[in-house]
Amino acid sequence: MPDEFPQVQGGGSLIVAWQIKNKNVLVVGGGEVAAGRILSLLNADARVTVVCPSAGLNAEVRYRVSQRQVTHIDRVFLPLDVEPTKNVAMVLTAIDDPIASTRIWKYCKKLKIPANIADVPPECDFYFGSVHRDGPLQIMVSTNGNGPRIAAAIRRRIADMLPQGTGASIAKVGLLRRKLRKKVPGTGTEDIQRRMAWMSRVCDDWEADDLGELDDEDMAELVSHFETSSVPSFEDIRLKSWEKRKAGVVWDWDGSPGFAI
């Protein structure tokens, strides 16, 4: 019986996609590491506040401040930066001061605010991995704080293996799902399961390149097959949508050897 189930492998971390959009995040520091953290947060649509004396800002962070992509507080960290009224959802520190970093971590622990203290794994509630980004596609490789540079090398190898245009294909799948929900808006369990099952068949039966080639007319034609639970081929969908477009063309011939549409 035990052999039928996966074996537990302790020592890992729970890798999740943290939805930090429109939430307040505090970054302490303004150097190269902080710049990387800030970019990751902005890509996730977080509201970022940077606490750091102006002299400690590198060129990239200074640019973010000048473009008002982040809010800058020109001083060192103070406990008031994480008081409950600030609604801080996450704190990241990237400063060359281990004593100050530990002090900030203790403040966060007391207030139950998740924190990441750069380069100090025991004082991290979560880790940053090496991320490959292609539109909606994000792939993270984590070594649980053991080897960041190795994680980056593995991430590059994975990215090189992916077909070109993978992110665009995934974006088209997301658009197709939204069109399907609009056409079949039921919220019952049966409706949701039917949509999920049909979308799974589309993703299993179609090549990623074909999904990336879909346009609005193709999607409308494909979604029209949902009620019959059928999943036609990409070639059939492209042919049907082309025939519909051709049928809607008005031909205007003036008798000359040439003609115009």
For residues 119 and 127, give the distance between their C-alpha atoms in angstroms, rounded to a whole number.
10
Task: List the catalytic residue out of 45, 96, 97, 119.
Answer: 119
**In sequence order, which ranges of 136-165 are alpha helices (DSSP H)?**
148-161
Which of 181, 136, 186, 137 is CA-nearest to residue 158?
Answer: 137
Integer CA distances (angstroms), 234 to 69, 201, 210, 238, in order: 42, 13, 7, 6
Catalytic, 81? Answer: no
For residues 2 and 201, give the distance between their C-alpha atoms in angstroms, rounded to a whole number.
33
Contact status, residue 29 vs residue 70, Cβ threshold 8 Å? no
116-135 burial, b if ≥16 CB within 10 A, otherwise e? bbbeeeebbbbbbbbbbebe
DSSP string, 94-128: --S-HHHHHHHHHHHHHHT--EEETT-GGGBSS--
Which of 4, 5, 54, 50 is CA-nearest to residue 28?
Answer: 50
Token pair of 111 as six digits = 């207030």
Active site residues: 119
